[in-house]
Protein backbone atom coordinates (compact mmCIF):
# COMPACT_ATOMS: atom_id res chain seq x y z
CA UNK A 1 0.00 0.00 0.00
CA UNK A 2 1.34 3.43 -0.95
CA UNK A 3 1.95 6.01 1.73
CA UNK A 4 -0.40 8.99 1.69
CA UNK A 5 1.27 12.36 1.33
CA UNK A 6 0.83 15.90 2.52
CA UNK A 7 2.73 18.54 0.56
CA UNK A 8 3.99 21.33 2.81
CA UNK A 9 5.26 24.61 1.39
CA UNK A 10 6.99 26.44 4.25
CA UNK A 11 10.35 28.18 3.88
CA UNK A 12 11.04 28.54 7.62
CA UNK A 13 12.98 25.42 8.68
CA UNK A 14 11.81 25.49 12.30
CA UNK A 15 8.17 25.94 11.38
CA UNK A 16 8.44 23.20 8.74
CA UNK A 17 9.80 20.79 11.36
CA UNK A 18 7.14 21.73 13.91
CA UNK A 19 4.35 21.33 11.36
CA UNK A 20 5.73 17.96 10.23
CA UNK A 21 5.85 16.70 13.82
CA UNK A 22 2.35 17.99 14.57
CA UNK A 23 0.92 16.31 11.46
CA UNK A 24 2.61 13.00 12.41
CA UNK A 25 1.11 13.19 15.91
CA UNK A 26 -2.33 14.21 14.66
CA UNK A 27 -2.96 12.01 11.63
CA UNK A 28 -1.72 8.44 11.15
CA UNK A 29 -0.10 7.22 7.97
CA UNK A 30 0.96 10.46 6.31
CA UNK A 31 4.37 11.43 5.02
CA UNK A 32 5.13 15.15 4.66
CA UNK A 33 7.09 16.30 1.62
CA UNK A 34 8.52 19.80 1.49
CA UNK A 35 7.83 21.72 -1.71
CA UNK A 36 8.42 25.31 -2.78
CA UNK A 37 7.33 25.97 -6.37
CA UNK A 38 4.74 24.82 -8.85
CA UNK A 39 7.29 23.12 -11.11
CA UNK A 40 8.60 21.16 -8.13
CA UNK A 41 5.10 20.00 -7.19
CA UNK A 42 4.30 19.01 -10.77
CA UNK A 43 7.55 17.06 -10.99
CA UNK A 44 6.86 14.90 -7.93
CA UNK A 45 6.55 11.24 -8.89
CA UNK A 46 4.32 10.82 -5.80
CA UNK A 47 1.95 13.66 -6.74
CA UNK A 48 -0.93 11.25 -7.35
CA UNK A 49 -0.57 10.06 -3.72
CA UNK A 50 -0.86 13.58 -2.28
CA UNK A 51 -4.05 14.26 -0.36
CA UNK A 52 -3.41 17.81 0.82
CA UNK A 53 -1.30 20.88 0.07
CA UNK A 54 -0.48 23.17 2.98
CA UNK A 55 1.12 26.36 1.73
CA UNK A 56 2.28 29.71 2.98
CA UNK A 57 0.80 32.59 1.02
CA UNK A 58 4.21 34.10 0.28
CA UNK A 59 7.54 32.40 -0.21
CA UNK A 60 10.53 31.95 -2.46
CA UNK A 61 8.53 29.75 -4.84
CA UNK A 62 5.98 32.46 -5.59
CA UNK A 63 2.55 33.59 -4.48
CA UNK A 64 0.59 30.70 -2.96
CA UNK A 65 -2.67 31.48 -4.77
CA UNK A 66 -0.83 31.46 -8.13
CA UNK A 67 0.60 28.03 -7.31
CA UNK A 68 -2.89 26.74 -6.46
CA UNK A 69 -4.29 28.20 -9.69
CA UNK A 70 -1.45 26.54 -11.62
CA UNK A 71 -2.36 23.17 -10.13
CA UNK A 72 -6.05 23.60 -10.89
CA UNK A 73 -5.32 24.66 -14.47
CA UNK A 74 -3.65 21.27 -14.82
CA UNK A 75 -6.69 19.54 -13.31
CA UNK A 76 -4.95 18.80 -10.02
CA UNK A 77 -7.59 19.51 -7.41
CA UNK A 78 -5.90 18.80 -4.09
CA UNK A 79 -7.53 20.15 -0.96
CA UNK A 80 -5.52 23.19 0.13
CA UNK A 81 -4.90 24.92 3.43
CA UNK A 82 -3.11 28.28 3.33
CA UNK A 83 -1.26 29.30 6.47
CA UNK A 84 0.24 32.78 6.52
CA UNK A 85 1.11 35.62 8.82
CA UNK A 86 0.09 38.16 6.19
CA UNK A 87 -3.36 37.57 4.74
CA UNK A 88 -4.57 40.68 2.93
CA UNK A 89 -8.19 41.38 2.05
CA UNK A 90 -7.27 40.79 -1.61
CA UNK A 91 -5.78 37.38 -0.76
CA UNK A 92 -8.85 36.49 1.34
CA UNK A 93 -11.08 37.28 -1.62
CA UNK A 94 -8.96 35.20 -4.00
CA UNK A 95 -8.90 32.24 -1.62
CA UNK A 96 -12.64 32.41 -0.95
CA UNK A 97 -13.29 32.54 -4.71
CA UNK A 98 -11.23 29.35 -5.13
CA UNK A 99 -12.79 27.65 -2.09
CA UNK A 100 -9.49 27.54 -0.20
CA UNK A 101 -9.40 27.35 3.60
CA UNK A 102 -6.87 29.57 5.34
CA UNK A 103 -5.45 30.30 8.77
CA UNK A 104 -3.53 33.32 10.00
CA UNK A 105 -0.34 32.31 11.82
CA UNK A 106 -0.76 32.43 15.57
CA UNK A 107 -3.77 30.08 15.55
CA UNK A 108 -4.20 27.45 18.31
CA UNK A 109 -3.09 23.94 17.32
CA UNK A 110 -6.56 22.47 17.84
CA UNK A 111 -7.80 24.73 15.03
CA UNK A 112 -5.11 23.36 12.72
CA UNK A 113 -6.09 19.82 13.72
CA UNK A 114 -9.74 20.54 12.92
CA UNK A 115 -8.80 21.84 9.47
CA UNK A 116 -6.62 18.81 8.81
CA UNK A 117 -9.47 16.47 9.81
CA UNK A 118 -11.93 18.37 7.63
CA UNK A 119 -9.66 18.41 4.59
CA UNK A 120 -8.41 14.84 4.83
CA UNK A 121 -11.28 13.27 6.70
CA UNK A 122 -9.23 11.09 9.04
CA UNK A 123 -8.57 11.14 12.74
CA UNK A 124 -5.59 9.71 14.57
CA UNK A 125 -6.65 6.45 16.16
CA UNK A 126 -3.68 6.18 18.54
pLDDT tens digit string along 21-67?
A: 999 999 888 999 999 888 899 899 888 889 999 999 998 888 999 99
Domain range for 35 = 4-120
The residues near 91 (Cβ < 8 Å, ≥ 6 apart) are 57, 65, 84, 102
87 domain-assigned: yes
What is the mean pLDDT of the segment spanning 81-100? Answer: 94
Residue 123: pLDDT band (50, 70, 90) is very low
Q: By percentage, how much of the chain surpasses pLDDT 90?
A: 71
Residue 93: pLDDT band (50, 70, 90) is very high
Helices and strands (H, E) in the chain, number of each type: 5, 5
What total number of domains does the chain contain?
1
- Main-chain dihedrals φ then ψ at residue 16, nearest 5 degrees: -60, -45
126 domain-assigned: no
CATH number, domain with residue 115 = 3.40.50.2300
Amino acid sequence: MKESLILLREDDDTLFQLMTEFIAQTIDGYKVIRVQKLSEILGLPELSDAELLITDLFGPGGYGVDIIRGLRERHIHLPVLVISGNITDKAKGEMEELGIKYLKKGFPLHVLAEHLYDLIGKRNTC
